[in-house]
Amino acid sequence: MEAEFEAIVVGAGLSGCAAAYGLAKHGVRVLLIERGRHPGSKSMSGGLMYCHALHKLIPEFWKEAPVERYVKRHVISFLSKGSAVSLGFDGSRFSTPPYNSYTVLLSKFNEWFGSKVEQAGGILADGTYVDDLLWDGAQVVGVRAGGEDIRSRVVIAADGVNSRLVESAKVRGKFSPGAVALGVKSVVGMPSEAIQARFNVHEEEGVAYTFLGCTRGMQGGGFLYTNRESVSVGVVAGIHSLIKTDAKSTELLDDLISHPTVSELIEGGTPLEYSAQLIPEGGFGAVPQLHRDGFLVVGDAAGFTSNSGLLLRGMDFAVASGAMAAEVVRKAKEFGAYTDSTLAQYDSLLQKTFVIRDLRTYRNAPRFLSNQRLYSTYPDLVCNLMERLYTVDGGPRKNLFGVVRREMKGKVSWVRLVEDLLEARVL
């Protein structure tokens, strides 16, 4: 049977839109299928996008896309009960184009990206759920959606972390609890003038906070990003640590927003939306086989995210992998065959770029980040140390070394501390 489309992309998130755009722009007949009512209606992210990958696909996209604020200040905060030690970085280079990163609200953003695909000539089918893949022997030849068979020469799975298609194509099973984390977020409305005053930024500028020590000792952390007229605040915790605790996932978000350091940043705000999302965190070791005959995997479905502890990235990986899948499909089209071996070029393209390179660089990070001391012992230590250092109450003083020794006593040995510091070289 004749293929109606050259390519079908399943999922109009960032990776799917990037793939479909990369095809449509070059005149390839592509169908983008989205189960939500419009692209973006199922999209959720923390909200920090490193711009380089999309800038490459759509130069200066920030001029037309619904971006929020470029991030000019990054703050890392170690939280302990009632106190915080923070380190901030102001980058003037981050305030000029090409911008390093932007905060985004992904639902709005992907609605725009979906419309770009349509403008470029791609066909969008939204509100449509893909039930399964169509096969001709070992070759994927389309999808079954809404009771209809739609044929194509290649299918790109961009259906996210819970991808049913990668399971259907048997390139991997469901993620193990150790390979995913749960993110829970609240979007809190705030007038833009209030954001400018509170965070000491100009109208277009924003701040990104990373919090450690707010997860009851569980592997994870918190974040807060300023949008134009809202703030995104949330927590991320590993599923394997959530399984082992007595805490509810929702209580972690309550903990974070009731911490004095965080609550003063969102005080008076109006809650607008509550969201949750799984994040693949297995890194290099969890990446599945990325292609088979007539089939490619991109974005979260492929597990393309990188967590180095202080930096959690997924969106630039999604865009770049989508764009590269489009490139490979265009080459396969010229070549006239969508076999596993022609699509294997996808692997080599990814390996030549940051997608696989960065995953490989941080391949041992998951092991380091599973160290429980990072999530309570050390944040507590740093906060207590500072408290002692600045507490003047007329009592006898100890020199700095004495304070450090006293704070570490019974919590962590010097040997352990040095070992952990050495281990941190994998980051």
Partner 1 sequence: MSLEKLSVEQRLNLNSFATDRESHISINHKLCKEQDAKILLRICPAACFTMKSGELVFSRLGCLECGACRAATSPGAIEWNFPKGGFGIQYRYG
Neighbours of 353 (CB within 10 A): 16
Q: Please tell me whether residue 361 binds partner 1 under the rule CB under 8 A.
A: no
Please check whether residue 268 is in contact with residue 245, taking contact to mean a CB–CB distance below 8 angstroms.
Answer: no
Q: Please tell me whether residue 289 binds partner 1 under the rule CB under 8 A.
A: no
Task: Report d(CA 282, CA 367) in Å as an integer.
Answer: 10
Handedness of CA 404, 85, 96, 235 (dihedral sign): positive
Q: Please tell me whether residue 219 binds partner 1 under the rule CB under 8 A.
A: no
Question: What amino acid is encoded at 307 in this protein?
Answer: N
Q: Half-sphere exposure (CA, 13 Å, Cβ side) for 211? A: 30
CA nearest to 338, candidates 33, 28, 53: 28
Nearer to partner 1, 257 or 328 (CB): 257
Q: Residue 412 burial by CB count (10 A; 0-12/13-18/19+): exposed, middle or buried?
A: middle
162: left (phi over 0), alpha (psi -120 to 50) or beta: alpha
For the bound state, the minimum distance from the C-beta of residue 64 to partner 1, rounded and expressed in Å, comes to 18
Q: Residue 37 burial by CB count (10 A; 0-12/13-18/19+): exposed, middle or buried?
A: exposed
Residues 14-43 that bind partner 1 (CB under 8 A): 35-37, 40-43
For the bound state, the minimum distance from the C-beta of residue 424 to partner 1, rounded and expressed in Å, comes to 28
Nearer to partner 1, 117 or 328 (CB): 117
Q: Alpha helix locations (H) across 353-413? A: 354-361, 365-369, 377-390, 400-408
Q: Please tell me whether residue 248 binds partner 1 under the rule CB under 8 A.
A: yes
Binding residue for partner 1, selected from 28, 79, 180, 296, defined by CB under 8 A: 180
Binding residue for partner 1, selected from 100, 249, 339, 371, defined by CB under 8 A: 249
Q: Please tell me whether residue 273 binds partner 1 under the rule CB under 8 A.
A: yes
Nearer to partner 1, 90 or 167 (CB): 167
For the bound state, the minimum distance from the C-beta of residue 18 to partner 1, rounded and expressed in Å, comes to 16
Q: Using CB under 8 A as the criterion, what x/- string covers residues 91-130 for binding partner 1? A: --------------xxxxxx---------------xxxx-
Q: Please tell me whether residue 182 binds partner 1 under the rule CB under 8 A.
A: yes
For the bound state, the minimum distance from the C-beta of residue 393 to partner 1, rounded and expressed in Å, comes to 31
For the bound state, the minimum distance from the C-beta of residue 396 to partner 1, rounded and expressed in Å, comes to 39
CA nearest to 34, candidates 58, 11, 3: 11
Binding site for partner 1 (CB under 8 A): 35-37, 40-45, 105-110, 126-129, 145-146, 161-162, 164, 174-175, 177, 180, 182, 184, 186-188, 230, 239, 242-243, 245-250, 254, 257-258, 263, 266, 269-278
